[in-house]
Structure 1
Amino acid sequence: MSETIICEPLTRHAFAPFGDVLEASGEPDKLINQGLCGRYHDLAGLDFTGNGARAGVSLFKSEKRQLPYQLEMVERHPLGSQAFLPMTQEPFLVIVCPDENGVPGRPRAFITSPGQGINFHRGTWHGVLTPLSDPGLFAVVDRIGEGENLEEFWFEAPYQIAERQASI
């Protein structure tokens, strides 16, 4: 029997061990463009290693998934951070695991609020891109360069990721 993981809302505090939450909340750091644009400055710690490695911007278009979701594997990128910026106002599922001596520990699952993006720290175990609505279109900022930057881990038994039930 598989273990069930209940989704939690994505907050900066809860997600801090795994990466950065990217959102335009609160007052902007400064106003630009004749005072008509708020700049929320330097929200993600981009981190790339390796000779000639650089940041690149790609677009990912992923098929919609639904809850409950069966988590069979996670991956990590040992040579660079990876930021996901949704190109819609729809929430998506974010799954992460603490590292326990080179293997992923018990997963945690988060549901983003509309307008939130995330940046995984370099080496963070995470689930695959999991949009919960169509189109699953994201701008992704990650490492471009030589070297093996993908490690996958398949669980012996899958986890079930479920929504938090509303209080009665």
Structure 2
Amino acid sequence: MTKIVTQKLTAAAFAPFGDVIDCAGAPDKIINQGMCGRYHDRADMEFDEGRAGVSLFQATPRALPYTLDLMERHPQGSQCFIPMSEHGFLICVAPDDGGVPGTPLAFLSQPGQAVNIHKGVWHGVLTPLHPPGLFAVVDRIGPGANLQEHPLATPYTVDTA
């Protein structure tokens, strides 16, 4: 198995695959009688025919080292993963290589970070590393097939070093 070493999730490193959603920088606006900072429009949500929907996902936590053996993509819409706990999670993504995943990269998010994976980007399954594994997910709701799965002939081992 080929090993992938995780890297810290940053907006610059993740940009080819999607958006990092966090409270970096100053808020765009102060609201609620000065008691709340609004960090406005942090993700480029993109959908073909359909609409945005909000779902809850309850995923079983995994552990590192993690075996990455399946990647998927959503050709008709982006997919935004928002953890509903103060834990980071593992995000595996890969460039497209002629209709199949290329060499994957792995990112570890920090508490307070979410990601929006752009339309058509190969990514691993939802991979929390701590319970409860509860996420709000904003993605496309609409007609047609919006899931392509690709089992990896040669799995990867993902770890921190």
Give, in whole Å, the separation in 2 of the partners of 1:96 and 1:71: 10
Give the aligned residue type for 2:142.
G
**Residue pairs, 1:1-168, within 5 angstroms:** 2-50=1-49, 53-164=50-161
Deviations along 1:43-80, one digit per CA (max 9) or x if unpaired, are: 01110002xx0000000000010000001010000000
Deviations along 1:120-164, one digit per CA (max 9) or x if unpaired, are: 000000000000000000000000000000001111111000113
Q: Secondary structure at the match of 1:63?
A: coil
Q: Secondary structure at the match of 1:74?
A: strand
Aligned residues: 161
Give, in whole Å, the separation in 2 of the partners of 1:118 and 1:130: 12
The alignment yields a C-alpha RMSD, in angstroms, of 0.6
Q: Secondary structure at the match of 1:104?
A: coil
Give, in whole Å, the separation in 1 of the partners of 2:91 and 2:18: 11
TM-score, normalisation: structure 2: 0.99
Q: Secondary structure at the match of 2:12?
A: helix
Give the CA deviation at 1:91.
0.8
Unaligned runs of 5+ in 1: none
Give, in whole Å, the separation in 1 of the partners of 2:46 and 2:144: 15
Unaligned runs of 5+ in 2: none
Give, in whole Å, the separation in 1 of the partners of 2:96 and 2:40: 29
Give, in whole Å, the separation in 2 of the partners of 1:84 and 1:155: 23
Greater than 3 Å deviation, 4+ residue runs:
none
Give the CA deviation at 1:32.
0.8
Give the aligned residue type for 1:106.
T
Give the CA deviation at 1:100.
1.2
Give, in whole Å, the separation in 1 of the partners of 2:20 and 2:154: 29
